[in-house]
Every structure is written in structure tokens, then in C-alpha cells.
């Protein structure tokens, strides 16, 4: 069970790697669905862990769908992004409120490209330009996080808080922006059930996001909810596989002078496979995970697929090694 306990610790740290690829006004939320994964609520070993994540996304919407994007309206969108995220996370050894506390900070560097069928203006959507493309390479926003986790045998629970610091590359009028240009606060809780005898695990996390206004476009995304879940079966002491999924739903509409399409509530769901394996490197237990999601039931949001390749590196040795 030692290996599985360590695996849970690494994955719990990976789960707090907040990722954002595009601005909210483009039909994409502050919260990146699929962010949480297996063992999300399981306490881990004290010390530093460094998750490194490669993330790829591809999404599009038809020419009949209009999106507010960086201060203007665009008809149709075809976007893809490739990012590398680092999220150093520290887990305290001293209990807090009877649980285990951790904190971290995530940052990203990547490339985003976007194509639109037409740029529109005015309430009637009259076309003022034809198709357009844009691409950008740079850094994204910063995302500090904090969590508190409790263990009760096979049952594990947690609460978390996350903030968005808008320092990423952003320019009004550009189709490809790596930052949101507005602050946000996200919080919620999660649960993990682990059957050690059968090697089975089930995790779920529910959160809610409050967005501040983009000062350059006077656009404010509505209050949103998100549910990430995962289930896995250990095939051996070092390998597990299973399924992952998410549901994103915007509770309240967008607002502000820049919200020319009204409340523009969005939603999307995703489902796909996952596999993970842990292994030793120089006496330390590392972990690698690959998961992918295919999206469906999208509304006021591009729809596509995304893949996550994670490598979790423990920087502080556990006292029982």
C-alpha cells in the first residue's frame, strides 16, 4: 500500500495545477475543465512536489455561432493551444483544523492559435471584415492555490481555494490571448473513496467561480460551476487505468457594457480515458499520467478535445522512505 499512498499524494498535488488557455469572453471559462483528477481529496506526504504538465487542446465552433472575443464579436472559431505548466506545491507536516494543508503556485508558457470566419460589429452583427487568424507564444496568468484535506479510512474529503492573477499576455483586439485580463476567485470541495483491497478509486470535485470585470472590454463573465470526476482500477502495484469526465455549467449570465450578446451562458461536458504509472528515480517515487477528454453538449462555447500529460516529481523525501 505504500506505493499507492505515495501515488495518491502525487496526484493530489497535480490536481491543484490551475490551467487557463484563453480569455473567458471567447466562450471559454476561467476554470479549465479536467483540472482535477484521481485521488483529488487524498492527503499526501509532507514536503515539496513539482508537477510538470503538457496540455494540448483543440476546439472549434461553426460559422453560425458568434462569440465575444477581446472587445469584439467574432463568427465561428477554430483554436488550438499547446502549453507547459509548472505548479510547485508544498504540503505542511503540521495538522491544520485536523487536516492536511497545502499551497502552491502555477504558471504556464505556451502557444495559442485562433482562426475566425468573420469579425462582426454592431448589435445586428453586420460583417466588417472577412476571415482572420492570429497566433501567440508567451506566458499566462498566475494561479495561487490552497487546500485542506481529511482522511477517514476509505473516505477522504477536501476544500480548496484558488485565485487568478491577470499577468499573462493580453491585448484588446487580438484573437490569441494567453491571459484573461481579469481576476477571479474559485473555491469548492471534493471527495475520494479508495478500496485498498480491490484497488479501486473514485473521486469527484465540485467548485464555483466568481469573475471580476475585464477593465479593457468592460466584460464580466457570470458565476459558474464545474464538476470534475475520475475513476480508476489498479492493474498492478505500479499501474492503474480508468475513465475521467467533467461538466461545466454557467449559473448566471455575463454582464457589463461589453456583453453585447446578452447573458451568453455556456456549458460543456467531457469524457475520456486515463492511465497512470509510478516509478523510482534516484530513490524517489515519480508519477506519470495521461488522460484525454472528448467534449459534447457545448453551448455558447467551442467544442473539441484536450489531452494532459503529467509528470509529478517529489522534491522532498518522505520520512518513511
Domain boundaries, the chain: 2-314
- How many other CB atoms are found less than 10 A from the CB of residue 173? 13
In the chain, where does DSSP find H-type helix? 2-14
Which pLDDT score is estimated for 132? Answer: 80
- Which stretches in the chain have pLDDT values below 70? 1-28, 62-64, 68-76, 118-130, 317-321
Taking the C-alpha atoms of residue 203 and residue 200, their distance in angstroms, rounded to an integer, is 10
Which pLDDT score is estimated for 175? Answer: 81
Which pLDDT score is estimated for 129? Answer: 60
Tell me the pTM. 0.87
Q: Is the domain 2-314 a CATH 2.40.160.40 member?
A: yes
Q: Pick from 74, 75, 77, 73: which is nearest to 58 by CA?
A: 77
Which pLDDT score is estimated for 65? Answer: 73
CA angle 262, 263, 269 (to 5 degrees): 130
Which pLDDT score is estimated for 5? Answer: 47
Task: State pLDDT tens for residues 51-86.
Answer: 999 999 998 876 667 776 656 666 667 889 999 999
Q: Are 231 and 202 in contact (CB under 8 A)?
A: yes
Amino acid at each position: 500500500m505504500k506505493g499507492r499512498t505515495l501515488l495518491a499524494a502525487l496526484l493530489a498535488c497535480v490536481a491543484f495545477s490551475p490551467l487557463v488557455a484563453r480569455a473567458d469572453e471567447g466562450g471559454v471559462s476561467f476554470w479549465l475543465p479536467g483540472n482535477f483528477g484521481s485521488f483529488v481529496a487524498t492527503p499526501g506526504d509532507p514536503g515539496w512536489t513539482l508537477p510538470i504538465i503538457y496540455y494540448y487542446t483543440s476546439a472549434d465552433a461553426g460559422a453560425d455561432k458568434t462569440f465575444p472575443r477581446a472587445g469584439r464579436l467574432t463568427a465561428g472559431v477554430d483554436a488550438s493551444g499547446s502549453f507547459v505548466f509548472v505548479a510547485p506545491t508544498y504540503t505542511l507536516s503540521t495538522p491544520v483544523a485536523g487536516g492536511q494543508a497545502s499551497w502552491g503556485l502555477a504558471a504556464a508558457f505556451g502557444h495559442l492559435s485562433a482562426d475566425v470566419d468573420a469579425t462582426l460589429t454592431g448589435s445586428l452583427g453586420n460583417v466588417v471584415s472577412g476571415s482572420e487568424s492570429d497566433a501567440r507564444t508567451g506566458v499566462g496568468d498566475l494561479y495561487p492555490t490552497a487546500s485542506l484535506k481529511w482522511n477517514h479510512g476509505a473516505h477522504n474529503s477536501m476544500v480548496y481555494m484558488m485565485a487568478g492573477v491577470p499577468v499573462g499576455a493580453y491585448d484588446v483586439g487580438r484573437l490569441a490571448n494567453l491571459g484573461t485580463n481579469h481576476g477571479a476567485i474559485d473555491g469548492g470541495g471534493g471527495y475520494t473513496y479508495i478500496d485498498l483491497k480491490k484497488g479501486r478509486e473514485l473521486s469527484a470535485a465540485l467548485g464555483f467561480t466568481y469573475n471580476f470585470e475585464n477593465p479593457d472590454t468592460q466584460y464580466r463573465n457570470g458565476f459558474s460551476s464545474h464538476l470534475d470526476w475520475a475513476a480508476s482500477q489498479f492493474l498492478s502495484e505500479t499501474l492503474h487505468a480508468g475513465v475521467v469526465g467533467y461538466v461545466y455549467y454557467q449559473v448566471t449570465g455575463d454582464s457589463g457594457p461589453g456583453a453585447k450578446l446578452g447573458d451568453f451562458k455556456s456549458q460543456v461536458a467531457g469524457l475520456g480515458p486515463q492511465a497512470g504509472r509510478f516509478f523510482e528515480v534516484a530513490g524517489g517515487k515519480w508519477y506519470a499520467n495521461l488522460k484525454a477528454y472528448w467534449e459534447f453538449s457545448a453551448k455558447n462555447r467551442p467544442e473539441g478535445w484536450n489531452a494532459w500529460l503529467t509528470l509529478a516529481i517529489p522534491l522532498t523525501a518522505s520520512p518513511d522512505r
